[in-house]
Copies of this chain bind each other. A is one copy, B any other.
Amino acid sequence: MTNNSLTQLILDHSDDQELLERFQKSIETEHINKGETVLKEGETSNKLYFIEQGLMRSFYMRDYKEVTCWFAFEGEHITGIDSFFQRTPSKYGIEAIEDSLVNSISYDVMNEFLDQFHSFERIVRLVLTGAYFDLVDRVEMLQFLTTHERYEKIAELKPSLLHRAPLGQIASYLGMTQETLSRIRGIKN
């Protein structure tokens, strides 16, 4: 039996043995190299990824610049969320920032489980609820915190990010230019 964060999700929220077994059979494990893209902007996302090791990000283009909208660490999940849930071309690209080990579940399998298992529908609802509250925090950061405060918040919540991802990606995630982030980092050290 594989011990991974996807399985853990089921264990946390359901005791349905059939779901658990079929779920584990449906998981695909992949290695993704640093810099490799698993979803390109405009493609339809067919997989939800759970990261066992490594670091990935989702991003999109705006005014010819890449904007990073989310980082996903070990134990977290990532997908082209618009595309995966609405079956439309994705606005987002997804790539690995480090060599990563991921488990994935396909859209088709997920849909099958959503239809067949009430408990799975609930799990997905709870995951989405969590994603919602993450976004609420992000709104608050962008609306009220100064660039210095945003830096301090990320340094506190995700300290490892600061030496795992390139400056420009972190800056766009935090809603500032990379020059500004560089200056702040200089002052704080």
Contacts and interface: CB of A to CB of B under 8 A. Distances in A.
Interface of A: 62, 67, 69, 81-82, 85, 114, 118, 121-122, 124-125, 128-129, 131-133, 135-136, 138-139, 142-144, 175
Q: Is the interface of A mostly helix, strand, loop or mixed?
A: helix
A144 B85 contact: no
Given A125-B121, A128-B125, A142-B139, A133 B82 contact: yes
A131 B142 CA distance: 18
Nearest to A176: B143
A132 B139 contact: no
Given A138-B139, A142-B139, A129 B85 contact: yes
Number of chain copies forming the complex: 2
Contact of A135 (B129, B139, B144, B175): B139
24 contacts: A62-B144, A67-B143, A81-B132, A82-B133, A82-B136, A114-B122, A118-B118, A121-B121, A121-B122, A121-B125, A128-B128, A128-B129, A128-B132, A131-B132, A132-B132, A132-B135, A135-B135, A135-B136, A138-B139, A139-B139, A139-B142, A142-B142, A142-B143, A143-B175
Nearest to A143: B175
Given A69-B139, A131-B132, 18 more contacts: A62-B144, A67-B143, A81-B132, A82-B136, A85-B129, A118-B121, A121-B121, A121-B122, A121-B125, A125-B128, A128-B128, A128-B129, A128-B132, A132-B135, A139-B139, A142-B142, A142-B143, A143-B175
